[in-house]
């Protein structure tokens, strides 16, 4: 669940999307790493958070012309 301050509630803890992705990867797949980019792993409506951000930034850029 998304919470204020660009954080998420994952497993009852408030954390960044990157920390939540790392925790989920370790839990589900036994993934061992020290860091990951959360925006590459979390999705909304079949798009990664990164893709959504890039689309929004492009819309701003296109609207500025």
Return the pLDDT at 46. 92
**pLDDT tens for residues 13-36?**
999 999 999 999 999 888 888 889
Residue 9: other Cβ atoms inside 10 A: 12
Return the pLDDT at 15. 95
What Rg value do the Cα atoms of the chain yield, rounded? Answer: 14
Residues 6+ apart with CB under 8 A from 52: 44
pTM of the shown model: 0.71
Per-domain residue ranges for the chain? 2-63
Spatial CA neighbour of 42 closest among 16, 14, 12: 16
HSE value, Cβ hemisphere, 13 Å, CA-based, for 55:
6
Tokens of 60: 């701003």
């Amino acid at each position: 669940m998304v919470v204020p301050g660009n954080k998420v509630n994952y497993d009852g803890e408030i954390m960044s999307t990157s920390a939540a992705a790392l925790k989920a990867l370790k839990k589900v797949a036994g993934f061992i790493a020290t860091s990951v980019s959360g925006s590459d792993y979390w999705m909304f409506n079949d798009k990664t958070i990164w893709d959504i951000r890039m689309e929004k930034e492009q819309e701003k850029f296109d609207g500025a012309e």
